Amino acid sequence: MKTFVYTATDVQGNTVKNARMSAEDVNDFLDKIHEKGLFCSSYREASEKKSGTLHKFKTKELSYNCRQLSAMLTSGLTLIRALDILYKEQENDAAKQVFREVYEEVQKGSAFSDALKMQQGAFPDFMVSMVQAGESSGSLDVIIRRLEDYYDKQNKLNSKIRSAMMYPIILAVLCVAIVVALFTFIMPTFKDLLIERDMKGLTGALFAFSDSIRGYWYIYVGVVLVVVFLVYYGLKIPDVRYKFDKLICKMPKVGKLVLKVYTGRFARTLSSLYSSGIPMVEALERSSSVLGNSFIEKAFVTVIDEVKQGEQLSVSIQRTGIFESMFCSIIYVGEESGALDTILEKSASFYEDESDEAIQRLVGIIEPVMIIIMGVAIGFVIAGILPAIYNSMENIQ
């Protein structure tokens, strides 16, 4: 299936620019344009990369669209009619085009999951797998409702993380601003009060640093930009990303709190997939990949291999040492009782509550660190300037 970008005019004289349509080849594309009653003035085949980046739906958008789709399917509307309404409701033009293509593919007889997959990255693999399971079991409305709950919870968690991190970010910016103001505006005002003999040790070092910031500020800005650039692109290197993710998980205090957030997300994802009828191996692959942590994802390669060979999931997960023993015990109880899907759903709710507390604790750790850094910077300035000023006043007397 290829994607064509075209400009066309309808019978009313309205022009559509940079619209997209999926077709087998050029002839199939021109036939579809003719069926729509459009006059195509220009077209080109979109590259795979470009079509894949047309629009990638965020968690908030997925939550909203799944809620709308679930409501329409539950009320008795057909999938085609529901998709027709859904694509017309989209406010974002790129999102509207994606849903329009999904609607057209389903209208032609394609499976809903195949139509989603054709959008090449617009929808997450998790959603495609869930929809595919719903089509296979004949319970698509139930699956869409579960997707609605899943993305709604994920959106709320993401919102809580953003809200919780807002204050530490503001505090960090304020800390940097105060330090810069101290060394560029406040310290130079004291320089004329001091004599050359006082400009030694800590005092001399602080004033030298102040002069360097004022005279060579562009070098400091350049260094910061280079560091940000190296960190941003360095984390895209698999080995660097793996070591960074492992460090986050193994950090004292912080690591345990981060793992609680991962546990809640993993339990919810695995519960949704497994209860929808997706095989355990595929459910584990999807659940570990949505965490966005390469260290955990690599550890689950071994878990998946062991489960394929008949090992109990609880035993294999316990062996990784990633999740806490209580979570592994919960999975063990679910395996022994034959109610793993129910147990996972309950544990997901529990660990999501734990995630909220973990986020608050993380913020509680970050805030005093920022305050200490700011206090140390101000303390250095006071320790360097006040004794020198005091000595100068004695000399004057």
The predicted model scores a pTM of 0.69
Asked if 358 and 249 sit in the same domain, the reply is yes
User: How many domains is the chain partitioned into structurally?
Assistant: 3
Name which of 25-39, 184-198, 263-277 the model is least confident about. Answer: 184-198
Task: Give every strand in the sheet of 15-23, ordered side by side.
Answer: 15-23, 2-9, 39-45
Q: What is residue 396's predicted lDDT score, i.e. its pLDDT?
A: 53
User: What tens digit of pLDDT does each residue of 266-283 get?
Assistant: 888 888 888 888 888 888
Q: What is residue 195's predicted lDDT score, i.e. its pLDDT?
A: 64
Asked if 139 and 220 sit in the same domain, the reply is yes
Asked if 67 and 181 sit in the same domain, the reply is no
Q: Considering 88, 108, 123, which residue would you say is the last residue of a domain?
A: 123
Asked if 209 and 338 sit in the same domain, the reply is yes
3-state secondary structure of 249: helix
Asked if 211 and 344 sit in the same domain, the reply is yes
User: What tens digit of pLDDT does each residue of 41-97 get?
Assistant: 777 776 544 444 468 888 888 989 999 998 898 888 888 899 888 888 888 888 888
User: What tens digit of pLDDT does each residue of 291-301 get?
Assistant: 888 898 888 88
User: What tens digit of pLDDT does each residue of 213-246 get?
Assistant: 888 888 988 999 999 999 888 888 889 889 998 9
Asked if 259 and 175 sit in the same domain, the reply is yes
User: What tens digit of pLDDT does each residue of 362-389 get?
Assistant: 777 777 887 887 788 778 777 777 776 7
Asked if 250 and 345 sit in the same domain, the reply is yes
Kindly tell me if the per-residue pLDDT of 249 is higher than 90: no
Q: Considering 123, 150, 176, which residue would you say is the last residue of a domain?
A: 123
Asked if 69 and 164 sit in the same domain, the reply is no
| Integer angstrom CA distances of residue 357 from 24, 291, 303 | 51, 19, 28
Rounded Cα gap, residues 234 and 259, in angstroms: 23
Q: What is residue 191's predicted lDDT score, i.e. its pLDDT?
A: 72
Asked if 286 and 164 sit in the same domain, the reply is yes
Asked if 59 and 165 sit in the same domain, the reply is no
Q: What is residue 275's predicted lDDT score, i.e. its pLDDT?
A: 82
Asked if 19 and 113 sit in the same domain, the reply is no
Asked if 9 and 113 sit in the same domain, the reply is no
> Which domain, by its residues, includes 31?
2-46
| Integer angstrom CA distances of residue 95 from 19, 47, 58, 122, 298 | 12, 18, 11, 9, 33
Q: Considering 123, 151, 179, which residue would you say is the last residue of a domain?
A: 123
Q: Which H/E stretch holds residue 363?
A: helix 340-396
